[in-house]
Structure 1
Amino acid sequence: MPARDVVIIGAGAAGLMCAIEAGKRGRSVTLIEHSRAPAEKIRISGGGRCNFTNLHATPENFLSNNRHFAKSALKRYTQWDFIDWINGHGIAWHEKTLGQLFCDHSAKDIIAALLADLKQAGGELRLSTAVNTVSRQGEDYLLMLSDGSTLTCQSLVIASGGKSIPKMGATGFGYDIARQFGLDIIETRPGLVPLTFDPDTLTRFKPLAGVAVDGVACHGRTRFEEAMLFTHRGLSGPAILQISSYWREGEDIRVHIRPDLDLYTLLRDARQANGRQAVQTALAEHMPKRLAQMLVEEVGLTGNLADQSDKKLRAFADHLAAWPLTPTGSEGYRTAEVTLGGVDTDGLDSRTLQARDVPGLYFIGEVVDVTGWLGGYNFQWAWSSGWSAGQVV
């Protein structure tokens, strides 16, 4: 029965980082991945160029039942540390909006560098191999694998991710292991996901499918100012994906269309310049024509600009600054970029990611109840948590 110091289940960003760090410390490491290829989320991220971190990553960019939990790992291994790693491997990169960093060429450059580091650190990678059962054997762990073989290890690291994008093999495996060993699970749900609406709202949205506009999506005091996209199912785009992590079923969101403009003043000036102009025509100078027409129809503005009083124009502009919408749901894990919730951080040590009451058992990455904003934050949590566990497993 082969014995290893460390077995890591899940060869994604967190698992690979942990395996490399543990191997560098002289630990014998086996990394087990049930898919045919490692790091598939890295490969598809950012349109194939991997949004690998964010310049502005801080603990405030993460959701968790314990908002302080991520501080230790994020402080010990920062975005600047990972940028140094990227530069050390000669991977060219660039910054897009809001501090998002992407590979110039391909996400495969990062995967190749991680696998090269894993090999150099002496780590073993076993693909197309599932873990059937996990049990304790004295102070060690015994794993029964899908190929009929067994493994024992002193340290077992769960880096199996969440439920998002099941077509890539995502499962609730990590949560099952956590429950087996007595850890609690914070309710899981799709995060960074498009929102869906009732049939009546979709009928209004249907002519807008494919239309994008700059806006602010709000839920309570939380707000994100980025692009929004109308789809045949509802709303998507960065602003909507961001707010989806805060929204819960039955709640409203509010949308501010073109927050960069004083639409009241623009419409009032347009009325003075050409009162015979239709309201939607004037509005269409500042947003897509189809959207302008729907918004005018929604509030019931009839007639030309000359027919609108200052009070009506003000009320219309205020409506566009806080357009109330009630999603009925989301597109679910099928399109969700991340899974909210996960292994309760109350049961984990924030510095080592080890289960407090189960020596030698660790949880890192997305399986933990730590979820970042859109824009490279979740990869940074993977690097930080994987690195932190790798120092001690």
Structure 2
Amino acid sequence: MLSLFLSKRLRESKNHSGLFGFLSKASTIGVFLGVTVLIVALSVINGFEHQLKERLLSVVPQVSYQAPYDPIENWPEKVRLLESQPGVKAAVPEINLTAMVQHKGQLKAAQLKAIVPELHQNVSSIGLYTKPFELSELASNEILLGRGIATQLNVKKGDKVAVLIANQHAKNALAAPKRVSFNVAGFITMGGEVDRNLVIVNLAEIQSALSLSENTVTGLRLAVDDVFNAHQIAMSAGRALPDLVYVQSWFRTQGSLYQDIQMVRTIVYLVVFLIIAVASFNIISSMVMEVKEKQADIAILKTMGTQDKTIFMTFAVQGLSYALVGAFFGMLLGTVIALSITELFSLWVSLDGANPLQGVYFIEFLPSKLVISDIVVVLLATLIISILSSVYPAWQATKVEPARVLGGG
């Protein structure tokens, strides 16, 4: 209690000193800004990772097997075989092709995905982004277009479009592409590259166009229990297939994005903790100068019988208080910004008219996910750095010799 009282008196008296007041405020502001930026940055990174897992990885294939030459026969049996493998939640058939979508003389390249509508929801949440149209109701003569494709071709619901597809399994390598007409049943509105590239049709129609039997497909797709272990599951489950297939997991298509997110997280930790460390060094410098100025007061306290540990705790608490005040208010501001940054970004985009995320990432908004453990880690790290920063000046205060200071020597 005596240490707290002395620290309070020192702080009150020091407020009259312009230089020390400025240094202490600069230290507090540095910690405040560092904690604020770190909480906001980590929340945004968590938001991107959450959107990657819950949004993108629920739509793009987590694991797929593609036939390079001969198509896959008797897909119902292969699906049951794959679903019996460890780590596999569900398996479905599909045909993936590069196609051209044509409407009124305009062409747009697209990734065509032919699916069994009533089964596809077992491995993908793309149906969430086709509302109000229900994916399970997709008829054989209907097509779902990505919103970006529809906008570029000026297509509206109910319009008729033609899809040109190459028959990669045709005996004649120079065979003319197949032309299939579809009615536009709805649109895929997910944001990002998916809207600009993906079209979905019924598997039966493409099987007919490619002269494949109803039990023949060119690919199988899996949903797995652990998306971050997808590659190992893909290799393990793929060994059960008797067919020659290319094995592909989301790590090959989206893995670089996940690695980028983790790299940015590491860089943010490093840079912002350096900012906090610099602010803590300001605490050291200001506290050392304060000890120099208060040598006479320290000497008087010692002559009155004050123990070294009391003096040590007085200055340690003094230095620690600067950081804790900054960390506390930084936590409050960082939390408020993290919880509202998505809306703030949308407001900024509406005022500026340009979206820096458009065409760059798989989403066109700034996500945020506040994780309590991140706040705890930030505050603990700040506390540890602040304690270390306060030790040396406090130790120096205990080395003051009353006889030399008060005696003028």
Specify the TM-score bucket, using the shorter chain as the normaliser: under 0.3
Instruction: With the length of structure 1 as denominator, give the TM-score of the two structures.
Output: 0.25
Higher strand proportion:
1
More helix by share: 2
TM-score by length of 2: 0.24
Q: Which structure is richer in relative contact order (CA contacts within 8 A, separation 6 or more)?
A: 2
Which is greater in Rg? 2
